[in-house]
């Protein structure tokens, strides 16, 4: 469900025509719907309203501080995986006691920053990391609250790049040795064990991998409780998928019913880290057609957005629907929608049947709210695009478009070249 719809054959974001935003802000640009963001967060969070829980939005999906501020105002916390994401969350007034810190490679500075902020807990990914957290906490005279991220060796049936729950993955601690490490952690002076964490992957479209992982984690939870560990939190991560095309992932209420039934005998607060399911369909990338090029047996639609703006199609061969901003009677054509980057991999669609657009037409690349701007770059020295938030019949730029001066702002020519 989202609030991008046609009205009088023009595509709108809530009450604002996209043509108006394009004229005022320029293209390419990301556009997010606040009504969609709010609805998705509430649907997910409310599905667990009858059990103790905390919804910690996964910042890596979309880290704009305006969105973090919105989710915090709705009672949410966040899951961060870097010091930069922690910095953003604190700037957006997210309560530190609603922040969990995940990620396999936390630096000493990041650990210190999180301890000083007094976050809810670290999701620890290795024994070496546990020892480093203890050393820093000891130096600061603090107690570090932790959960171990347990790898249950479950195949999430998703793209291998976003599959994190198999034993061959770099993520988490092998479930076969997790019990031993928990018992060790429980006797480290500046460590307080408060939970178990598990995250098996992203863009999951089946319930079974979630439930299989939970069953394995429950056995560990019960073993630890039998040995005297009082665990307050069970962090089940995120990963619930969205429809990009023909996928039919479980609805959050269906997901919640299954998880609650499976976890009903556990006396703890459930933590969830939804990202894509909240923001994915709440955003689009708006782009303008530059040229049409007829190749040998192929039509190319060249647009002003590129793989540096949205890398998912190039990186994952991900499908995004592409809609004309103005509906017109046009013949259909099979075309590749490509950008200006000097890479053959710079495409948004290949062999896509769509209306034969013309130079100057606007296209909306749908379901681009997650892993869109956050994965953008300045490749080919292209300034990163603007981000816009729509609320009803008004909108505001929540990140200005970069200019050429921004590209070299941190660079310097050595004195010996002057």
Q: How would you classify residue 118: left for phi > 0, otherwise alpha for psi between -120 and 50, otherwise beta? A: left
Q: What angle is formed at CA 31 by the lines to CA 95 and CA 92, rounded to 5 degrees?
A: 15
- Residue 4 has a CB neighbour count (10 Å cut-off) of 21
- Contact assessment for residue 80 and residue 100, using Cβ atoms and an 8 Å cutoff: yes
Is 77 buried (19+), middle (13-18) or exposed (0-12) by CB count in 10 A? buried
- Angle formed by the axes of helices 175-185 and 127-140, to 10°? 20
- Contact assessment for residue 270 and residue 286, using Cβ atoms and an 8 Å cutoff: no
- Residue 128 has a CB neighbour count (10 Å cut-off) of 9
Containing 404, the helix (H) or strand (E) segment is: helix 404-407
- What is the rounded radius of gyration, in angstroms, for the C-alpha atoms of the chain? 23
Please provide the distance, in angstroms rounded to a whole number, between the alpha carbons at the two ends of the chain: 57
Measured CA distances, 265 to 49, 53, 210, 404 (Å): 17, 15, 17, 58
- Please report the DSSP string for 120-139 in residue order: SEEEE--HHHHHHHHHHHHH
Residues contributing to the annotated binding site for substrate: 276, 312, 316, 343, 371
How does strand 283-295 pair with strand 298-303?
antiparallel
Residue linked to tokens 């479980």: 250
Residues contributing to the annotated binding site for pyridoxal 5'-phosphate: 239, 273-276, 371
Closest CA to 206 of 247, 250, 167: 250
Strand segments (E) across 340-417: 347-355, 362-365, 386-391, 394-399
Instruction: Give residues with Cβ within 8 angstroms of 155, minimum separation 6.
Output: 163, 165, 166, 209
Active site residues: 342
What letters, b where the CB count within 10 A reaches 16 and e where it falls short, cover 237-274? bbbbbbebeeeebbebeebbebbeebbeebebbbbbbb
How does strand 29-33 pair with strand 233-235?
unpaired
- Contact assessment for residue 310 and residue 363, using Cβ atoms and an 8 Å cutoff: no
Strand, helix or coil at 17? Answer: strand
């Amino acid at each position: 469900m989202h609030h991008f719809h046609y009205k009088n054959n023009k595509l709108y974001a809530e009450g604002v025509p996209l043509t108006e935003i394009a004229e005022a802000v320029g293209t390419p640009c990301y556009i997010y719907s606040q009504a969609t963001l709010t609805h998705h967060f509430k649907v997910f969070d409310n599905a667990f309203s009858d059990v103790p829980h905390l919804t910690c939005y996964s910042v890596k999906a979309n880290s704009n501080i305006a969105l973090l501020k919105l989710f915090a105002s709705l009672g949410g916390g966040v899951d961060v995986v870097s010091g930069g994401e922690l910095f953003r969350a604190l700037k957006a007034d997210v309560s530190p006691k609603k922040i969990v810190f995940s990620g396999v490679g936390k630096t000493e500075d990041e650990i210190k920053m999180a301890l000083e902020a007094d976050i809810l807990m670290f999701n620890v990914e290795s024994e070496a990391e546990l020892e480093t957290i203890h050393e820093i906490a000891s130096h600061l005279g603090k107690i570090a609250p932790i959960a171990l991220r347990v790898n249950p060796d479950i195949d999430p049936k998703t793209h291998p790049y976003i599959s994190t729950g198999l034993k061959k993955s770099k993520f988490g601690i092998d479930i076969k040795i997790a019990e031993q490490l928990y018992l060790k952690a429980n006797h480290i002076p500046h460590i307080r064990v408060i939970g178990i964490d598990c995250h098996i992957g992203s863009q999951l479209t089946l319930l079974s991998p979630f439930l299989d992982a939970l069953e394995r984690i429950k056995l560990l939870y019960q073993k630890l409780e039998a040995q005297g560990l009082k665990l307050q939190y069970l962090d089940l991560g995120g990963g619930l998928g969205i429809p990009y095309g023909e996928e039919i992932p479980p609805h959050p209420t269906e997901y919640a019913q299954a998880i609650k039934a499976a976890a009903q005998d556990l006396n703890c607060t459930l933590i969830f880290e939804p990202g894509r399911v909240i923001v994915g369909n709440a955003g689009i990338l708006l782009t303008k057609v530059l040229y049409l090029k007829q190749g040998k047996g192929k039509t190319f639609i060249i647009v002003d957005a590129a793989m540096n703006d949205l890398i998912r199609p190039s990186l994952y061969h991900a499908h995004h629907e592409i809609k004309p901003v103005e509906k017109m009677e046009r013949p259909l054509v099979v075309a590749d929608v490509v950008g200006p980057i000097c890479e053959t991999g710079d495409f948004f669609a290949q062999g896509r049947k769509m209306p034969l657009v013309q130079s100057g037409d606007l296209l909306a690349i749908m379901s681009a709210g997650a892993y869109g701007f956050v994965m953008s770059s300045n490749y080919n020295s292209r300034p990163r695009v603007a981000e816009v938030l729509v609320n009803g019949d008004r909108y505001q730029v929540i990140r200005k478009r970069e200019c050429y001066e921004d590209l070299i702002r941190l660079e310097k020519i050595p004195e010996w070249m002057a």
